Structure 1
Amino acid sequence: MTATNHTFHPAFFLLWGIPGLEELHIWISIPFCTMYAVALGGNSLLIIIIWLEHSLHEPMYLFLAMLALSDLLLSSTIMPKMLTIFWFQDKVISFQACMTQMFSVIAIFVMESTVLLAMAFDRYVAICFPLRYTMILTPSVIRKIVGFSVTRGLLITSPFIFLVERLPFCGNNIIADTYCVQTKISKLACADITANNIYTLVLSFLSTGLDVILISISYTFILRAVFRLPSRDAQLKSLGTCSSHVCVILMFYLPAYMTVLINHMYYGVLLTNLYLIVPPALNPIIYGVRTKQIRDHIIHKFSKLGLGSSADSLRG
């Protein structure tokens, strides 16, 4: 391991993969590669459909396109290097590439959390203030939400680069994971990492913690408004418009908190890696199947390509 004269950074890190399961890497790669292909295809299809169909240029679908783009970026930041580790034992990653990957993962994660919060706000306005929906969620407001999502992710994540860059690394350069995890990089340093740990807690509260609280408040108001509707059919219809979003929220936040509770070396690493690829693979399927407008447009596209049987199976 080499180091610079002033910052004592290693020239590279070694991403070890999933500790304890090295002999199974090639087999583990099969479901991961499959899910990555599904994530690439599904999210790209969603973005294209929403982009091309002007009838889908509504707040709900624009937020969904933002979610699909976030999923696409998050999985593509992690999976290519992970698969090279599994397939070719290419464990080397340069210090700067590691910093870039670490920054990208955290920033995209914060952006996606912000998008889920925006989608909760969209459902809150649609159900609690249906007559004012188009007046509240105007194109200008949506652009501001997009800008806020990106700015928030960049601003909250940027201090991590400074906090890690300032650390000297004196010996071990092996990261027991498939990607550059900030906490594991910091633990390799031969210096006090209290500031890093404190900011990790601050980041957790300012992003996912705060978002979960606000989403919960939104759904409290949503449920109160739904159960005040006069008929059961109206209640079920309103709840149905939220079901896809609730599924995505649960897939995004619950595994994140589970990874904190599971400290076992390879179980924790495996769960974290699944957490980063399963939601991007399942989100477009959930919205494609449960959202009639999107499903109808996909069926229409398949029909135009002459895939009638596939379209019929989707419709069924």
Structure 2
Amino acid sequence: MNWETYIKEYQVYLKIERGLSKNTVENYSYDIERLLLFLDSNKISISPLKISESELQQFIYKVSSEVNARSQARIISGLKSFFSFLIFEDYRDDNPLALIESPRTSRKLPDTLSVDEIDALIAAIDLSSNEGERNRAMLETLYGCGLRVSELVELKISDLFFEEGFIKVTGKGNKQRFVPVSELSQKYIGFYKDGIRTHLKIKKGAEDTLFLNRRGGQLTRAMIFTIIKDLSVKIELTKKISPHTFRHSFATHLLENGADLKSIQLMLGHESITTTEIYVHLDRKFLKEVVNNYHPRKS
């Protein structure tokens, strides 16, 4: 089999067995395609079963001159995953990247918004249009439930359990979790769902999708980015923000107000609490207060 055949098998594995999204599968595949371009340009003819640490080290050296340390680490991680798959399928006995270390990268702290900035963004929404009511409901849900943008656009009417005070969220790898939804978010979702959405001509396949575009179809991730960018320009916000900024702000504000990391982890849908721990670094003053308030040796 050639590289293309192994790559296709790997893509199926990522999608079916690991449950990764289309975008994630494409990112993993891009790392391998970059390696293939390097091999081709250097006239190195070798199969994925025979390629060794030597050829891969040459490739990594070339990449290191083109991208930053973070991107280099991501490429190495992606290739390690591919060769681990080949081992898993008994195509290879070893991972040629096992001894190649990723460069050390500084941990980038996420941007956050203050409560006042979030209030200002939502207040800037033009509620005279149908899209305005929808946008207010979406931003309240993003911030109020700490959703990823993909989770927001995929949210279904059948995922709303308002009587119990929860929404069902389908996250990465199709893993589902229940997240508390505030009365305020419920109110604005209700305004949109019952007052605006019911008057749309809904496209086939989008009947259960909560947030729709003006043509009655599912919104794209890019549209959510555009809505937020336009609002930030409108209020002259100097921070560079995205839909994910609302998710970071959700976690940070919970932490600052006394929520424990384990609870935040469950609401965000992080598989590992180490991912959630990044929020601890945002407010060292908060950590000092935790010790002063709760440690038995505080004085």
Higher relative contact order (CA 8 A, sep 6+): 1
Which structure dedicates a bigger proportion of its chain to helix? 1
Instruction: Give the TM-score of the pair, scaled to structure 1.
Output: 0.20
- Work out which of the two has the higher radius of gyration on C-alpha atoms and give 1 or 2: 2
